[in-house]
């Protein structure tokens, strides 16, 4: 009997050791590499902003993103990943919710699928996109808790249980909020208002997306999508070929590459529209005030807004429903009782009056799209927009950030962040520019040097707002337009200062394979109308295609 017991013990010990060795062998580890040859190749890129000085962060170890999940992923095999792909990749929220309802998929499997996928691609130096900065250490357990709850009616069209990434200038209490900057590497902020709203509606915060550092108001002429913390974000449609767009670079890339159901971006001027269009996803820049900015690292309290970035319009409407809410801490915040899903599926382009900017008709894809819209029943009105001045735009951003960033650092940054003003950040970066500011910090220098008075600032702000409104109001009122049609972020600056909403929807691909999008611009708080236009257009065209190497 003793011999049998010893034999069994030895077998158990042997099997245990073997299992541990197998698990150890399965651990996926990102290996740093010499970027020299790639950087030499990039030095000849036709776009000066893509002549990179580095690709991966000199501060962060990419393995830290997923290391905490190694044990959770030990039983999540490649076979299981492949089996789940048809249920998740490129599927909209209603389809994924239906799979959960029908018990074909659990919330835990959904979360592990995305973590596995992020690790799979981001650990491969030939495919990595540097789209993610951190993952939520609690998200697997949060998903398991949801799996214990019954599926309730109406959930198919909700954000409940859906894993989302938020741009890393948006506060999260259990992950650092860095804005991509070295000085904020250990910023333990509280949840932003919109994060609270998402969680109240049952969303799973999967992690934080990379971004252009300080929301791309830091260096001048530097690569979009670069941050000291996250490295250089790369475009899945043309890795190191096409720009990722910015500043919500990681949000656009992660959405396109199916790293999450959806993402949250932020925009001051073009920072949702640009990465959405560059990565063939749907991006909504809402009217200023529709979504709260509390707890978001700012550029401009005048122009900043968060917004949803999704693979399709219906997900965008679902996402927007979950984010709205009056925030008494944000002076611009307004309440909204709209259901952005209402009548969405019955939307049509028939009879809609769409304004087409004549100069843009030189773009072949835009011109072809306009012809298609006519065929779908829309009334097309061509016009030349009024000429308006945008003088003082940078001054507006300079003075806003000069005051808004210190207010954030005082009220929202954790006590271990030992800077109070923009000049303090500049001085900190000068101590190690190769790591902290390899492309310089010219815009921060400009903020420090700007001596514009409050009176002049208010005058500039009011003039820009008037001019921006004039740019759109003249044609919209003269021709009774439902929306103005633009390309990508071409008219983002005018919409920014007017505080008007924009929705960009994939329009197609250039001969090079670079994505291009159609942007609908409307009057304040007409997001519901823009979403209907976008949905009807998307339904007729289905222009989005998943990036070839990330399917």
Q: Which residues are catalytic?
A: 167, 247, 271
Beta bridge mates, 215: none
Reference 192, options 331, 332, 334, 323; nearest CA is: 323
Residues 168 and 229 sit within 8 Å (Cβ to Cβ): yes
Euclidean distance between CA atoms 205 and 400, whole angstroms? 29
Q: Which two tokens stand for residue 381?
A: 């009105």
Residues 515 and 509 sit within 8 Å (Cβ to Cβ): yes
Reference 321, options 521, 143, 160, 192; nearest CA is: 160
Which DSSP symbol is given to 269?
S
Q: Which two tokens stand for residue 238?
A: 């043309």
Going by C-beta distance under 8 Å and a sequence separation of 6 or more, which residues neighbour residue 365? 507, 508, 510, 516
| Cis-peptide, bond into residue 208, ω within 30° of zero | no
Going by C-beta distance under 8 Å and a sequence separation of 6 or more, which residues neighbour residue 501? 284, 285, 286, 287, 290, 495, 521, 522, 524, 525, 526, 527, 530
Euclidean distance between CA atoms 88 and 83, whole angstroms? 10
Q: What is the DSSP string of 293-346?
A: -TTB--S-TTT-EEEEEESSHHHHHHHHHHH----TTSTT-------TTTT-TT
Which residue is associated with the tokens 């890129």?
Answer: 45
CA separation, residue 222 to residues 148, 258, 273 (Å): 48, 27, 19
Residues 510 and 273 sit within 8 Å (Cβ to Cβ): no
CA separation, residue 273 to residues 24, 276, 368 (Å): 43, 5, 21
Tally Cβ neighbours within 10 Å of residue 326.
12
Reference 398, options 435, 446, 351; nearest CA is: 446
Q: Which two tokens stand for residue 133?
A: 């900065």
Which residue is associated with the tokens 């894993």?
Answer: 163
Summary count for the chain: helices (H), strands (E): 21, 13
Beta bridge mates, 307: 265
Taking the CA of residue 389 as centre, how many other CA atoms within 13 Å lie in the half-sphere pointing to its CB?
A: 6
Strands (E), 129-271: 132-135, 163-167, 204-209, 226-227, 231-232, 262-267
């Amino acid at each position: 009997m003793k011999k049998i017991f010893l034999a069994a013990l030895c077998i158990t010990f042997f099997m245990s050791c073997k299992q541990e060795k197998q698990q150890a062998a399965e651990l996926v580890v990102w290996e740093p590499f010499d970027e020299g040859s790639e950087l030499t190749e990039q030095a000849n890129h036709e776009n000066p902003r893509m002549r990179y000085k580095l690709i991966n962060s000199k501060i962060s170890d990419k393995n830290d993103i997923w290391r905490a999940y190694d044990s959770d992923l030990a039983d999540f095999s490649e076979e299981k990943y492949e089996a789940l792909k048809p249920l998740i990749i490129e599927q909209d929220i209603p389809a994924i919710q239906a799979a959960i309802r029908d018990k074909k998929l659990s919330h835990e499997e959904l979360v592990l699928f995305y973590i596995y996928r992020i690790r799979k691609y981001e650990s491969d130096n030939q495919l990595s996109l540097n789209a993610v900065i951190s993952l939520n250490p609690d998200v697997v357990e949060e998903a398991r808790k949801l799996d214990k709850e019954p599926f309730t009616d109406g959930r198919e069209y909700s954000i409940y249980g859906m894993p989302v990434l938020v741009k890393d200038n948006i506060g999260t209490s259990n992950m650092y909020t860095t804005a991509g900057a070295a000085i904020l590497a250990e910023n333990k902020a509280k949840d932003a208002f919109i994060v609270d709203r998402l969680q109240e509606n049952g969303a799973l915060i999967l992690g934080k997306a990379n971004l252009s550092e300080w929301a791309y108001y830091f260096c001048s002429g530097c690569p979009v999508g670069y941050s000291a913390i996250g490295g250089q974000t790369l475009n899945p449609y043309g890795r190191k070929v096409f720009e990722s767009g910015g500043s919500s670079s990681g949000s656009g890339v992660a959405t396109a590459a199916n790293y999450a159901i959806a993402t949250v971006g932020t925009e001051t001027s073009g920072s949702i529209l640009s990465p959405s269009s560059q990565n063939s996803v749907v991006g909504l820049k809402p009217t200023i005030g529709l979504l709260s900015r509390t707890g978001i690292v700012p550029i401009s309290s005048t122009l900043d807004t968060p917004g949803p970035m999704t693979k399709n319009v219906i997900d965008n409407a679902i996402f927007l429903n979950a984010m709205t809410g009056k925030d008494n801490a944000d002076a611009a915040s307004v309440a909204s009782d709209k259901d952005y899903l209402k009548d969405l599926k019955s939307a049509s382009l028939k009879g809609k009056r769409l304004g087409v900017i004549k100069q843009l008709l030189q773009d072949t894809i835009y011109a072809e799209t306009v012809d298609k819209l006519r065929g779908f029943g829309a009334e097309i009105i061509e016009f030349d927009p009024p000429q308006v001045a945008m003088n003082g735009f940078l001054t507006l951003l300079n003075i806003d950030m000069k005051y808004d960033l210190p207010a954030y650092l005082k009220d929202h940054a954790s006590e271990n962040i030992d800077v109070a003003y923009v000049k303090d950040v500049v001085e900190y970066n000068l101590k190690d520019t190769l790591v902290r500011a390899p492309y310089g910090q010219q815009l921060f220098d400009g903020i420090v040097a700007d001596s514009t008075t409050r009176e002049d600032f208010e005058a500039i702000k009011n003039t820009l707002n008037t001019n921006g409104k004039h740019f759109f109001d003249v044609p919209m009122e003269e021709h009774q337009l439902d929306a103005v049609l633009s390309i990508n972020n071409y008219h983002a600056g005018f919409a920014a200062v007017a505080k008007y909403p924009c929705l960009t929807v994939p329009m197609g691909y250039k001969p090079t394979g670079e994505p291009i999008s159609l942007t609908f611009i409307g009057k304040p708080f007409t997001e519901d109308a823009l979403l209907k236009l976008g949905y009807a257009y998307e339904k007729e065209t289905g222009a989005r295609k998943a990036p070839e190497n990330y399917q």
